[in-house]
A = this chain, B = another copy of it.
Amino acid sequence: MAQKKRVTFDDIAKYTNFSKTTISRYFNNPDSLTLENQQIISDALVKLDYKENKVARILASGKTEFIGIIVPNLYLRYYSEMLDQILSTYETFGYKFLVFIGNGNEESERRYIQELLSYQIEGMIILSHTIPSRELAGLSIPIVTIEREDRFVCSVNTDNYMGAVQATSLLARHKCDVLIHVNSPTPEERPAYGRIQGFRDFCKEHHLKHQVIIEELGNTNESSQRQMSHILNQIEMNYPNQKKGIFVSSDTYANVLLNLLFRKYGTLPQDYLIIGFDNSPVSEEAIIPISTIGQQIEKLAYEAVSMLVTQMNERKKRRPVPLKEPIHKMVTPILIRRETTEGFLE
Distance of A53 Cα from B59 Cα, bound (Å): 9
Within residues 235 to 285 of chain A, which ones have a CB less than 8 A from any CB in chain B?
A: 252, 255-256, 259, 262-263, 266-267, 281-282, 284-285
Residue A58, interface by CB 8 Å = yes
Task: Report copies per complex.
Answer: 2
A55-B55, A118-B52, A285-B252 known; A74+B81 contact, CB < 8 A = yes
Q: Are A56 and B59 in contact (CB under 8 A)?
A: yes
Contact with B along A103-115 (1 / 0, CB 8 A): 1000010001001
Within residues 87 to 116 of chain A, which ones have a CB less than 8 A from any CB in chain B?
A: 87-88, 90-91, 96-101, 103, 108, 112, 115
Q: Which residues of B contact A51 (CB under 8 A)?
A: 117-118
Q: Are A55 and B58 in contact (CB under 8 A)?
A: yes
Distance of A59 Cα from B256 Cα, bound (Å): 53
Q: Are A98 and B98 in contact (CB under 8 A)?
A: yes
Q: Which residues of B contact A282 (CB under 8 A)?
A: 281-282, 285
Contact with B along A272-306 (1 / 0, CB 8 A): 00000000011011111000000000000000000
Residue A64, interface by CB 8 Å = yes
Distance of A100 Cα from B267 Cα, bound (Å): 43
Q: Are A285 and B80 in contact (CB under 8 A)?
A: no
Chain B nearest CB: distance from A100 CB in Å? 7
Which residue in chain B gives the minimum CB-CB distance to A120?
A: B55
Q: Are B103 and A88 in contact (CB under 8 A)?
A: yes
Residue A84, interface by CB 8 Å = yes
Q: Are A64 and B75 in contact (CB under 8 A)?
A: no
Q: Which residues of B contact A83 (CB under 8 A)?
A: 74, 80
Q: Which residues of B contact A18 (CB under 8 A)?
A: none
Q: Which residues of B contact A118 (CB under 8 A)?
A: 51-54
Q: How many positions in chain A have a CB within 8 Å of any CB in the partner chain?
A: 56
Q: Are A64 and B74 in contact (CB under 8 A)?
A: no
Distance of A158 Cα from B80 Cα, bound (Å): 22
Which residue in chain B gives the minimum CB-CB distance to A320?
A: B3
Residue A19, interface by CB 8 Å = no
Distance of A55 Cα from B121 Cα, bound (Å): 10
Which residue in chain B gives the minimum CB-CB distance to A75?
A: B84
Chain B nearest CB: distance from A241 CB in Å? 23
Residue A73, interface by CB 8 Å = yes
Chain B nearest CB: distance from A6 CB in Å? 9
Chain B nearest CB: distance from A220 CB in Å? 9
19 inter-chain pairs at a CB distance below 8 angstroms, sorted by A residue, are: A51-B117, A52-B118, A54-B118, A54-B119, A55-B55, A55-B119, A55-B120, A73-B84, A77-B80, A80-B80, A84-B101, A87-B99, A88-B101, A97-B98, A221-B281, A256-B285, A259-B287, A263-B346, A287-B287
Counting from the closest, the 3 A-B pairs by CB-CB distance are: A80-B80, A74-B84, A287-B287
